Amino acid sequence: MSIFVDDRTKVVYQGLTGSQGRFYGLLNRDYGTQVVAGTNPKKAGTDVDGIPVFAGVADAVAATGATASCVFIPAPGVKDAVLDAAVGGVAFIVVITEGVPMHDEAWFFNALRRDHPDVRLLGPNCPGIISPGRCNIGITAGHIAKPDGPVGIVSRSGTLTYQALYELAQQGIGVTTCVGIGGDPVPGTSFIDCLQAFEADPDTKAVMMIGEIGGSAEEEAAEFIEQNMSKPVVAYVAGVTAPPGKKMGHAGAIVSGGKGTAQAKMDALRDAGATVGLNPTAAGAPSSWSQSCETTSTMSAPAAVGFRPTVAPASRSASIFAWAVPLPPDTMAPAWPIFLPGGAVTPAMYATTGFVISALM
């Protein structure tokens, strides 16, 4: 299974006739996503490589049965585009656009909650969402994601999301759904929304959460993890060395008034029971896993860290064992085993942003 989107999702691209909308709309269609329509009030009645263009989302929904929209409208027009999508009848809106004014974000965030409570907004300023092999909405490269896996990913960072997907795929580990919630101050979908959905998804066995400095989203997620998550959670927080008061990339990535620091977020997540990556540039030594794996692969990775134990394995032959540990420079020994039920895997090390897991069947 997957969360939020699957192979039944039908997508209308708002801005399909623009260069970026066309590029990613066609790319997503080629991936297998049902891209059924585009919108442009001035080009209604035309098409983009066979995809019909309508004046607005309501017309597209009536003609094609679209259930989701992807917004590639320039920032000044995003407010109207989101409202057009919600009124038009889609249940899921993905806003890729960067640079949306904060007051516009706050306006349509509250408008959706008040007038369209059944509509989910993802973004703005996000890479989108991918349920590998089923549906890809946004700008994530589909070929770097492996389907049918036990891991769900939620991230504020776009590029670290891509690295996580790619390195998981390199080690033969698939993903149920990867959600990029975006780094703006008013995200439509939060960490908690995604954690809650992954917790309810029977095919997601563990969750990878990638945060960054600024705001309180990670601290709020930590509280949710402690009180509600039965599945193991691995977290990494970017921005450990960020100077206070300086925006680091995203509009929401800023330490202000002593709040929103990476260390505070890491402490909160660790106290909640999540396993937290300590150093995104450290190398995970393959020899660290020789005690636990019959076979390991040689590769360098960011900080080595893994999942916390939740369920004791019933038997070695029917279980996936994974050993993982924070690896400061002088630390070499694995720390704890965990159990992920189901699915055959070859002995492998998986390395990704803040994580190294060594699996043995």
Cα 293 from Cα 63, distance rounded (Å): 55
The secondary structure element, H or E, covering residue 223 is: helix 217-228
Query: Looking at per-residue confidence, does 306 or 122 come out higher?
Result: 122
- Which of 29, 89, 92 minimizes the C-alpha distance to 62? 89
Query: pLDDT band at 11, cuts 50/70/90?
Result: very high
Torsion of Cα atoms, 20 then 22 then 28 then 30, to 10°: -140
Give the single-character DSSP code of 76.
Answer: G
Identify the H or E element spanning 108.
helix 102-115
Q: Which of 103, 116, 143, 250 is catalytic?
A: 250
Interval 125-151: pLDDT, tens: 999 999 999 999 999 999 999 999 899
Residues written for the chain: 361
Q: Which domains does the chain have, with CATH numbers?
A: 1-125 (3.40.50.720), 286-360 (no CATH)
Residue bearing tokens 């599945």: 231
Helix axes 78-88, 57-64, angle to 10 degrees: 40
Contacts of residue 159, defined as CB under 8 A and 6 or more positions apart, other chains included, come to none
For 228-248, the pLDDT digits (tens) are 999 999 898 988 877 766 655
Provide the pLDDT for residue 169: 87
* Per-residue model confidence as pLDDT tens digits over 42-51: 999 999 999 9
Residue 103 annotated among the catalytic residues of the structure? no
